[in-house]
Amino acid sequence: MNERKGWWARLRSPTAKYSILTLLGGGFVAGILFWGGFNTGMEATNTMSFCISCHEMRDNVYQEYKQTIHYTNRTGVRAVCSDCHVPKDWTHKIIRKVQASKELYGKVMGTIDTKEKFEAKRLQLARNEWKRMKASDSRECRNCHSFEGMNTEVQKTRAKKQHEMALEDKMTCIDCHKGIAHKKPEGMTEEDEL
């Protein structure tokens, strides 16, 4: 009984040595738990099921995406939403997730909750995404595609010519491939095509 009392007394008023060790150990464990939970949450928001869990995405862009080569192709490789819309490296991923919180505000406010509202905003949404991709030199496209990895000799004549010109002119994927995974919005201008 005395031994138990002594142990409890030490916990209630530990020495400086035990206080620091307890604090550091507790902080370390708390840090691991926080990081694990945070990272798990981040990865969960990168899944296809999360992306199409709201009807705005499921009923609009997801239906278009299912008709593209990024969904079904001869090799069986499928790019999911996050492959194109979320950077892989941690710093840019965090920045993109913070930017995406604005999309949650739109969800709550109902700015695109009907097909008509979505179509009315589609061009603005597309322009925002094209601008983001242009600014990053189509970083997410380059996770899978690269000029260095292309064998232009086996490409069709037009594609070969366009890719060689793009490389020479230091163009980026989104300069030519708007509408590759989603239909192009109505109302695009000539500037949008550049």
Give kind and range of the element (H or E) at residue 123: helix 115-135
| Token pair in block for residue 123 | 């061009």
Q: Is the pLDDT of residue 71 over 90?
A: yes
pLDDT at 68: 93
Over residues 10-48, the pLDDT tens digits come to 666 656 666 677 777 888 899 999 999 999 999 999 999
Domain boundaries, the chain: 15-44, 54-144
pLDDT digits (tens, 9 = 90+) for 92-142: 999 999 988 888 888 888 888 888 999 999 999 999 999 999 999 999 999
Closest CA to 55 of 102, 112, 96, 104: 112
Cα torsion 106, 110, 116, 120: sign:
negative
Find the Cα–Cα–Cα–Cα dihedral 111, 112, 117, 121, rounded to 10°.
90
> Which positions ≥6 away from 13 have C-beta within 8 Å?
none
Q: Is the pLDDT of residue 7 over 70?
A: no
In the chain, the amino acid numbered 183 is K
Q: How many CA atoms lie within 13 A of 138 on its CB side?
A: 17
Gap between the Cα atoms of 27 and 10, Å rounded: 20
pLDDT 10s digits, 140-165: 999 999 888 989 899 999 999 999 99
Cα-trace Rg, the chain: 25
Task: State the virtual CA torsion across 124, 188, 181, 177 in degrees, nearest 10.
Answer: -120
